[in-house]
Amino acid sequence: MIPLFPNTCIGCGKITSTPLCCDCEQEWATKHRQASKHFSQKGDEIFTCCQYNGLGGKIIRSFKYGRRFDALPIISTALSGVVIELGEDNFSYIIPVPQSLRKIFSRGFHPIEMIGHQVSQHTSIPVNVKILKRKWSWHEKDQASLNKQNRLHNLSRSFYAIRNETWGKNLQVLLIDDVATTGTTLFRCKEAVQKQYPDWKIKILVFAHG
Ligand SMILES: [Zn+2]
């Protein structure tokens, strides 16, 4: 049967009416989608759903750069699965890593916030985008274009957290991002939140690692 609105499979490019064809869906469920734990260069625990090098990378790139919004449920379902394993009742907020305004303007959407809201729907953990902020800077370079040493320097003091007593004490919160390579961005975000909320526990969850 020819689908009414033909689309291509994110994994292999085959024509299909779903974001992944049957074969890639099978591959995703049995091989690529695998919750695991990594450590950043600074020693922070990072929970992940898949490797960037493989189908996971294709899925996240198709969403972020290819505007394949039908990839969003795949991403958020995988992330929510990990949150449920960690115990969704243990978390007070989902905190999406803020994007630079330059990127939000050029893309026209905020992928991490969208992911955060979807995970929130699956897990009932509220998203709080008011805690963690990113400073507006003309000079901030794209992290992907820099080497490891420069990445750390580039992001220093880019993130800050807003102190608000009413958000609660001794909470556990979930910092969410799409991809972690060195974990530098996540470390800076965690550091910023920890500075304002030293009594909070911050768990880090990303979709793809590598
Ligand atoms: Zn396929």
167 C-alpha to center of ligand 1: Å? 44
Q: How far apart (Å, rounded) are the C-alpha atoms in residues 177 and 198?
A: 21
> Has residue 196 been placed in a domain?
yes
Distance 19 CA to ligand 1 centre (A): 8
Answer yes or no: is 12 within a domain.
Answer: no
What are the tokens at 2? 């020819």
Q: Which domain holds residue 140?
A: 18-209
Tell me: the pLDDT tens digits for 46-77? 999 999 999 999 999 999 999 999 999 999 99
Distance 96 CA to ligand 1 centre (A): 29
What single letter denotes the amino acid at residue 196?
Q
| Centroid of ligand 1 to alpha carbon of 75 (angstroms) | 16
3-class secondary-structure state, position 86: helix
CATH code of the domain containing 156: 3.40.50
Cα distances (Å, whole numbers) of residue 19 to 37, 69, 72, 179: 27, 9, 10, 20
What's the gap in Å between 2 CA and the centre of ligand 1? 16
Q: How far does the centroid of ligand 1 lie from the alpha carbon of residue 209, in Å?
A: 21
Query: Cα 36–37–40 angle (5° rounding)?
Result: 140
Q: Rounded to the nearest whole angstrom, what is the distance from the C-alpha of residue 21 to the centroid of ligand 1?
A: 4
**Does any domain span residue 72?**
yes
CA 13 to ligand 1 centroid distance, Å: 6
* Domain contains 10: no
pTM for the model? 0.88
Residue 134 alpha carbon to ligand 1 centre in Å: 37
Residue 160 CA, ligand 1 centroid: distance in Å: 41
Q: Give yes or no for a contact between 92 and 168, defined as CB atoms under 8 angstroms apart.
A: yes
Q: Does the pLDDT value for residue 1 go beyond 70?
A: no
42 pLDDT higher than 90: no
Query: Is 148 part of a structural domain of the chain?
Result: yes
Residue 23 lies in a domain: yes
Distance from the alpha carbon of residue 58 to the mean position of ligand 1, in angstroms: 11
Task: Count how many domains the chain has.
Answer: 1
62-76, 80-94, 124-138: the lowest-pLDDT one: 124-138
Question: pLDDT tens digit string along 91-111?
Answer: 999 999 998 888 888 888 899
In a domain, 30, yes or no: yes
* Residue 11 included in any domain: no
Mean predicted confidence (pLDDT) in 163-173: 95
d(Cα 201, Cα 156) in Å, to the nearest integer?
22
Helix (H, G, I), strand (E, B) or coil at 186: helix
147 C-alpha to ligand 1 centroid (Å): 33
User: 10 C-alpha vs ligand 1 centroid, how far in Å?
Assistant: 6
